[in-house]
Amino acid sequence: MALDALSRYLEQAGDRAGWRRIVDNSWGPTRHVNGHHEVFPAYHPTLSVGDLFELYRAMVTSRRIDDRELMLQRQGQAWFSASGAGKEAALAAAGKVLRPTDPIWGYYRDRTLVLMRGVTPREMLLQSVGAASDPASGGRQMPEHWGSPERAIMTYASPVGIQCIPAAGLAEACALSEKLIGRGRYPADSVVYTAVGDGTTAEGEFYESLRAAIIARAPLLVHLMDDGFGISVPVSEQVPGGDVASLFRGWPNLTVMENDGTSVRDSFDAFTRAADSCRSGRGPVLLRSKVLRLYSHSSTDDQRKYRPKADVAIEVEERDPLLRFARELIEYGFASADELREISRTIDAEILAAVDDVLQAPKTDVSRLATNIYAWDPPRAKAAFAAATAGRPSPRAGQTLVMADAITACLEELMTALPQLVMWGEDVADLSRGDYFRNPGLEGKGGVFGITKGLQRKFGPDRVSNSPIAEASIVGRAVGWSLQGFLPIVEVQFRDYLNPAWQQLVDMVATLSWRSDGRFTCPMVIRMAYGGYLGGAGALWHSESANGPLLHHPGLRLCVPSNAEDAVGLLRAAAFSGDPVCYCEPKSRYRFRDEFMERKYPAPDFVLWPGTSRRYGDGKDLAILTYGTTTNLCYRAMQALRSDGIESRLLDLCWLNPLDQEAIRAAADECGLVLIVDEDRRTCGAGAAIADVIYRDRALRRRVDVERVAAKDCRVSYGPVGERAILPQMEDILRAARDLVKLRPRR
């Protein structure tokens, strides 16, 4: 263990230097040299002796917990650990410089920083042993995944770099919160800290986060801890030229700083300069700390397999930040070896007591594992909606509108009622920020389908703005804004182009509430045009449904309107649900005009809350279950079936998560025949989830026949002939319905 070198040094050092500590830093320590006093420079002009001891205690505590976690694993009491050994000096300095209210959203090497922020060894060890009382996640996350709202520690995650874009978004939101909403959760002059290793700089999301922070001149402090390795791969094989900082020098409006991360003094100075730069409005800072990796990447790795033993030994004996700081404290006269040994003994006793305590703590409560997946609280959501909309008329109420115009009107109403509502996406603004001020006479765009047209002109460029073509940034930034108290309604132009944001969506957005055991939530709405039926123009990257993959990830809500009226009711519900909601808009129906699609704009109190469905007809021969684009096809099919003497009913499910299970079972029970129509593919499509509601009811399973019409398990082809061959058509629905009815006599 690296601590052995520190222990040997303290045993050998004793008090042989004979120096005396001078508490007044302005004079610096002194010692007798050749019969007279020699005055040494102060260790640091702004760090008191008490500060130095605080830093040392945090560093030693961090290393001791690293060692204790490894021991617990050997004893079968813990199952994983990721050490920060070799990085303690830089992290302790960061913890000293940052304010207690500055949000920190780093990665799993940050133990020393988190200790400086106030997380206790006991709290960390509760997570190590998977205790139900783990205050960061309720035992749901691995060790080193901290989170503490009261300490401004955002909940940590495993995928490297996943926090970078949300941290950039949070920094943007902090800087604008005073202007837009008066006060957010974190002060307007906050610096947002995030951290990565040198290997993480290969991740595309890392680059996106820097671009977003630079464009917004956001107060983001990116701590790059460069220990020369990405697991077993040396930096020379990861970075062109082997110098990771060189990749970012010369980026416009990005301040790049370098630091000896094994030195407390150098690190304190570097973080002071970095934080001051961020707070001054000069934009983001990338601070590269050259640190060490004294232990293996994690407890599942063994660096002895790929690093010469001598290399690690040299780092331990000559550059270990703990050993270096201990030498400085003694040589500068601030502490004796006995005092430092006593600090170690005290820390050991504290950790041993914490271990004894946490090993008695009940493990993860499995009865609670499915709680806090969602934040949806019906009474709270309905009360918030009533309070925000009370006395506010709907100017368009009663007007007959197509879906596109209804969505635009609803967005305008919501932005008027909710000052915390902000929007961005590709092309969603009327004009670029520059043209907004320089050329206000331009017509403006307002989205590729014109849905957001006019909103930037009314609410300003701080609330409605364009984003780069970077879907991960669109979604990831929304997390940070949401945590500051905003409600982002962001647009991804097509569901087909959501995939670059997939990690942010399914590993960050969907899991935030669950993995923090409800301590953090990120309400937002992600608007996406989806689906085909536009005459074959789109092919596979503009014309697919792909709702099934969204349903696979707990934590995401999904709703799909089928007409203008429901589009308003669902959007109102999505905005107040408290959850991240994917709001998929059937683009072929944006401006479709017929008796089903065109509806009157609803009254201000019309809301289709999660789990709501809409029923058309009350026939008992057949129940047709569908949603979104195919609802219009099914409505027309229902009328055609009536001419055959088949009386059916149509259930438009509206919400695919949560499904209206009661209405599904009731339709199946009353009709006995169920036809599920789904624009998504058959395998793992939304239709499978709908059918499962019936199959899970044993009584219904025995007496209800279910048939499905879905897209073929093939990508959508270009041109009208190719599209029609893949997507369900009305003749497919009619054929399946008639065949199903033939199975049994009508009621």
Tell me which residues are annotated as active site: 542
C-alpha angle 315-321-322 in degrees, rounded to nearest 5: 110
Q: Which of 571, 565, 560 is CA-nearest to residue 628?
A: 560
> What residues have CB less than 8 Å from 475, skipping those under 6 apart?
490, 492, 501, 504, 505, 509, 526
From CA 341, how far away is CA 329, in angstroms rounded?
12
> What residues have CB less than 8 Å from 33, skipping those under 6 apart?
none
From CA 339, how far away is CA 109, in angstroms rounded?
28
On whether the CB atoms of residues 83 and 296 are closer than 8 A, the answer is yes
List the beta strands (DSSP E) in 476-597. 487-494, 524-530, 557-559, 580-586
The enclosing H or E element of 289 equals strand 285-290
C-alpha angle 358-363-366 in degrees, rounded to nearest 5: 160
Q: Which of 473, 469, 541 is CA-nearest to residue 501?
A: 473
In the block, residue with structure tokens 């030229």: 241
Q: Which of 569, 593, 571, 592 is CA-nearest to residue 582?
A: 571
Token pair in block for residue 272: 């002071």
> What residues have CB less than 8 Å from 92, skipping those under 6 apart?
55, 58, 59, 112, 113, 116, 264, 267
On whether the CB atoms of residues 446 and 147 are closer than 8 A, the answer is no
List beta partners, residue 221: 193, 285
CA-to-CA dists, residue 154 to 98, 104, 216, angstroms: 15, 6, 21
From CA 263, how far away is CA 319, in angstroms rounded?
9
Rounding to the nearest 10 degrees, give the CA dihedral for residues 330, 336, 339, 343. Answer: 10
Rounding to the nearest 10 degrees, give the CA dihedral for residues 195, 200, 201, 205. Answer: -90
Question: How many residues does this entry show for the chain?
Answer: 747
In the block, residue with structure tokens 């004796």: 336
- Count CB-CB contacts under 10 A for residue 434: 9
Rounded to an integer, what is the distance from CA 670 to the centroid of its chain?
Answer: 43
**HSE-CB of 232 using CA atoms within 13 angstroms:** 9
Q: Which amino acid is at 34?
A: N
> What residues have CB less than 8 Å from 441, skipping those under 6 apart?
none
In the block, residue with structure tokens 């430092």: 340
On whether the CB atoms of residues 94 and 267 are closer than 8 A, the answer is yes
From CA 292, how far away is CA 290, in angstroms rounded?
7
Rounded to an integer, what is the distance from CA 212 to the centroid of its chain?
Answer: 15
The secondary structure of 301-370 as a DSSP string is --GGGTS-HHHHHHIIIII-HHHHHHHHHHHTTS--HHHHHHHHHHHHHHHHHHHHHHTTS-B--GGGTT
SS3 401: strand
From CA 269, how far away is CA 274, in angstroms rounded?
9
